[in-house]
Chains A and B, each alone.
Chain A
Amino acid sequence: MTRHVVVEPRGLASVKLRILVPVLSVLAALVVGGLFLAITGENPLDVYRKMADVAFGSANGVSNTLISATPLILTGVAAALAFKMLVWNIGGEGQLIMGAVFASGIAIWLGPAAPSWIAIPAVIVAGGVGGAVWASVAAIPRVYLKTNEIITTLMLNFIALSFMNFLVFGSSSPWRDSAVSTFPTGQPIPTNARLPTFFQRLDISIFIAFGLAIAAWWLVGKTRWGFAVQVVGDSPETAKYAGISVPNKILVVFLLSGAAAGFAGALYVAGPIGALEPRSLDLGLGFTGIIVAALAGLHLLAVIPIAILMGALNNSGPALQSIGVPTSTITMLQGAILIFAVGGEFFIRHRIRLPRKESTPQEIPDGVEVA
């Protein structure tokens, strides 16, 4: 008798399941990663203890983890916001860079005389505007000419990166530090535009990132406008039938997504870096944001803990090297955790049954049968 495994989509997963599955996924990843570590001659417990200790075990570690998480929260929001609407904005990287360009530009333009209560909000708003302007380059053709935004946003990342490199490495722009002739570096922004630190190296940008993520969640989940956006995301046809202006919604979501990434750039520049510094910004934060959004199941609040987890994973790399774990092993381990977490998503969306008797697939019209 053939045994059947039935894989079928499940409706709304329970909250219990939605917590249990990611937790089990990460545990499974740690077990598999642990086996791999054991094979390569490391003690998995030592490695995991070191990872957790570096990320959360000291005030300094917690501060560093949150610093690394801050931009990821916002690039994660940027990706989740767009993807929810089926807008494939993978230009978070470029929008972050342009946000940083605008933010540092306004800080330098305002100069050291501007009081902080003007300079800091101006820098943050400018970052959002910069990200939105850069997103609009892809968003307007997407909405009115139906161009493929995956390609345009991807390409615009490289243009933004080259533009930033031009401002600092290739020209005598105001963004370049004119006092240093040995190596082109970013012009430090005036201290009155810098975000104050309050805990080790951690500055208030973490709260701004939390606030913006919560605001995005509220906007999409709790407002009439957000409801319309969700309808468009679920079914553009239904939305059109209901009299919702689909192009308008897509455009606004696209720009908000760009703004979120731009905020990330602004906070990074006004926070830990203090200048438009290409070497500090070219870290793939926009791309990592896409992973964060995917792991968070596009949930705008779940983005926060996931970004913190990613920040912790990122920071654990150098510390693991210091106990003698090779970089390639660390990359493998980080990859395993991500793959398992994404894989767990499958079990949230699908149910797997092992029917005892001859199953009748007709009863489950959506079911996929695997022999």
Chain B
Amino acid sequence: MTSKRWRLFAVVLVVFAMVAAACSSDDAADDTTTTTAGEAPAEVLKVAFVYIGPVSDKGWSWSHDQGAKALKAALGDAVEITTLENIPEGADSERVFNDLAEEGNKLIFGTSFGYMDPMLAAAESHPDTVFMHATGYKQSDNMGNYFGAAEEGRYLSGMAAGAATVTNKIGYVAAFPIPEVLRGINAFTLGVREVNPDAEVQVVWTSTWFDPPKEKTAAESLLDAGADVIAMHQDSAAPGQAAEAAGAKWVGYNTDMTEFAPTAWLTAAIWDWGPFYIKTAQQVIDGTWVTEAYYGNMADGMVALAPFGESVDGATRTLIGEREAEIIDGTFSVLPDPIVDQDGAERPLGNIFEMDYFVEGVVGSPTG
């Protein structure tokens, strides 16, 4: 009996091995044919994008994919683009980055925070490949970072929310208790209270970046608690659909999501990654790329404000437009220094990339 069981095990392994051997030899042949066939005069830069969610999320990942499309449109045959979606964060993603580098991609964008350490490890083992990590802070000779001041757009969208609320309760469906998210909540709240000093922002954490059912449930719990405007950080439109169903208003994020909740829609801080992707790819092609931590903003166009929903009145639009102009010309800072914290105490603003507190007007815990 024992030997029979071992035989079963052995046979399965042998089958695997045979399939593997057959296929790998085939592929080796393929590789040679593609190198001879691909006799382009100028060298084509292979660029890869790794997304945490599906491109169809119409949110964060979609916004980056729009950037990838803009890159293709701008540089055409000079670039060959691979996009991978639904790649989970964490240690397992190192495999994906290694594979992309080994497939000849010379510029790899990873667009979620949790790719940071895996990308750093992959960057170390592939020194000829440029790795660009969105939202993180770790760097090496061939790994840089980029992100943008979404808080500028958040502040403006907060003004729209503050003007829209009747109950003076605004619900905020928050992702993870990290500086980026806290910055967004704080700037949003300051915007709310500029136009409506009595309004409060109630925060609920989901510990997700893209989990529509969970984010919808979180929004519903805030609506049940009396909120009549919902703001959010995640990549899905689910909180907006919950707001639409409840007859409440909604401030989105990442992209113009009017189509998901046309009545609820107010506005949102949105991204335009295209110019940055084009610039970075051109630097790699020209050999001028150097490690940097790029922080875009409304002035350079990486961050923008989405079109207003119908319910945003003319006076509010004008007010927001004036603030937007001040932000762009640098005369208004959305996060003042000093700043008033959740307990009403004045404190120095500190390093905004390490922000770990809430401002006055936020209800909830900044530690999750």
In the complex, are the beta carbons of A301 and B95 less than 8 A apart? no
B9: chain A residues at CB < 8 Å are 301-302, 304-305
- Chain A 54-95 residues near chain B, CB threshold 8 A: 54-58, 60, 62, 64, 67-68
Contacts of B5 on A, CB cut-off 8 Å?
A: 299, 301
Q: Write out the residue numbers on chain B whose beta carbons fall within 8 Å of the beta carbon of A283.
A: 88, 90, 92
Q: Given A171-B367, A302-B8, do A279 and B114 touch, yes or no (CB 8 Å)?
A: yes
Q: Does A362 contact B (CB under 8 A)?
A: no
A4 in the interface, Cβ–Cβ < 8 Å?
A: no
- Do B85 and A55 touch across chains, with their CB atoms under 8 A apart? no
Q: Do the beta carbons of B178 and A56 come within 8 Å of each other?
A: no
Interface centre among A19, A68, A322, by most B CB within 10 Å? A322
Q: Which of A128-136, A177-185, A254-262 contacts B (4 or more CB under 8 A)?
A: A177-185
Contact between chains at A56 and B16 (CB < 8 Å) = yes
Q: Which residues of B contact A231 (CB under 8 A)?
A: none
Among A60, A301, A318, A319, residue most surrounded by chain B Cβ atoms (within 10 Å): A318
Contact of B128 with A by CB under 8 A: no
A15 to B1, CA, bound (A): 10
CB pair B20 A170 closer than 8 Å? no
| A49: chain B residues within 8 A (beta carbon) | 23, 26-27
Nearest A residue to B27, CB-CB: A53
Is the Cβ of B91 less than 8 Å from the Cβ of A183? no
State A201–B93 Cα separation when bound (angstroms): 13
Whether a CB of chain B sits under 8 angstroms from the CB of A137 is no
Residues on the B chain within 8 Å of A319, using CB: 99
A182 near B89: Cβ-Cβ < 8 Å? no
Closest chain B residue, CB of each to CB of A306: B12
Bound together, the chains give a CA A169 to CA B207 distance in angstroms of 9
Alpha-carbon separation in the docked complex, A57 to B90 (Å): 24
- Tell yes or no: B87 within 8 A of A by CB: yes
Give residues of chain B (91-110) contacting chain A, Cβ–Cβ below 8 Å: 91-92, 94-96, 98-100, 102-103
- CB within 8 Å of A: which of B50-64? 54
Residues of the B chain whose Cβ atoms lie less than 8 Å from the Cβ of A55 = 20
Query: Are the C-beta atoms of A15 and B92 separated by less than 8 Å?
Result: no
Task: Assess whether A15 is in contact with B8, with CB atoms less than 8 Å apart.
Answer: yes
The size bracket of the interface on A is 35 or more
Q: How far is the CA of A13 from the CA of B252 in the complex (A)?
A: 59
Chain A residue numbers with a CB within 8 Å of B85 are: 321, 327
A325 to chain B, nearest CB (A): 11
Query: Are the CB atoms of A57 and B20 closer together than 8 Å?
Result: yes
Interface string of A175-218 (1 = CB under 8 A from B): 00000011110000000000000000100000000000000000
Q: Does B353 contact A (CB under 8 A)?
A: yes
* B96 close to A182 (CB less than 8 A): no
Report whether B19 and A52 are in contact in the complex, using a CB–CB cutoff of 8 Å.
yes
Least distance between B364 CB and chain A CB atoms (Å): 13
Q: Given the interface contacts A64-B95, A170-B368, A181-B354, does A321 sit within 8 Å of B177 by beta carbon?
A: no
Selected from A19, A58, A327, the residue in CB contact (under 8 A) with B8 is: A19
- Residue B24 at the chain A interface, CB threshold 8 Å: yes
Q: How far is the CB of A9 from chain B (nearest CB, A)?
A: 22
Decide if A53 touches B176 in the complex (CB within 8 Å).
Answer: no
Instruction: Check if A53 sits within 8 Å of B23, measured CB to CB.
Output: yes
Residue among B98, B100, B207 with the most chain A CB within 10 A?
Answer: B207
CB distance from A270 to the nearest CB of B (A): 12
The residues of A that contact B167 with a CB separation of less than 8 Å are none
- Select which of A53, A184, A201, A309 is within 8 A of B94 by beta carbon: A201
Closest to B48 in A: A322
A67 to chain B, nearest CB (A): 8
CA distance A119 to B99 in the complex (A): 32
Q: Which residues of chain B have C-beta atoms less than 8 A from A230's C-beta?
A: none
| Chain B residues whose CB sits within 8 angstroms of the CB of A280 once the complex forms | 89-92
Pick the contact of A277: B22, B87, B90, B178 (CB < 8 A). Answer: B90
CB of B354 within 8 A of CB of A182, answer yes
Whole-angstrom distance between the Cβ of B180 and the nearest chain A Cβ: 8
B368, A18: Cβ atoms closer than 8 Å:
no
Roughly how many angstroms separate A15 CA and B368 CA in the complex, as a whole number?
54
**What is B's interface to A at a CB cutoff of 8 Å?**
4-5, 7-9, 11-13, 15-17, 19-20, 22-24, 26-27, 48, 54, 82-92, 94-96, 98-100, 102-103, 113-114, 137, 176-179, 207, 353-354, 356, 367-368
Taking A56-B20, A182-B137 as given, write out 6 further A-B residue pairs in contact, using a Cβ cutoff of 8 Å, ordered by the A residue number: A56-B24, A57-B27, A169-B207, A279-B88, A283-B92, A302-B8
A-B contact pairs, 29 of them (CB 8 A): A15-B7, A18-B8, A19-B8, A52-B23, A52-B24, A53-B24, A55-B20, A56-B24, A68-B92, A169-B367, A169-B368, A171-B367, A182-B178, A183-B176, A183-B179, A184-B176, A184-B178, A279-B90, A280-B90, A280-B92, A281-B90, A283-B90, A301-B9, A302-B9, A309-B16, A318-B99, A319-B99, A322-B82, A327-B86
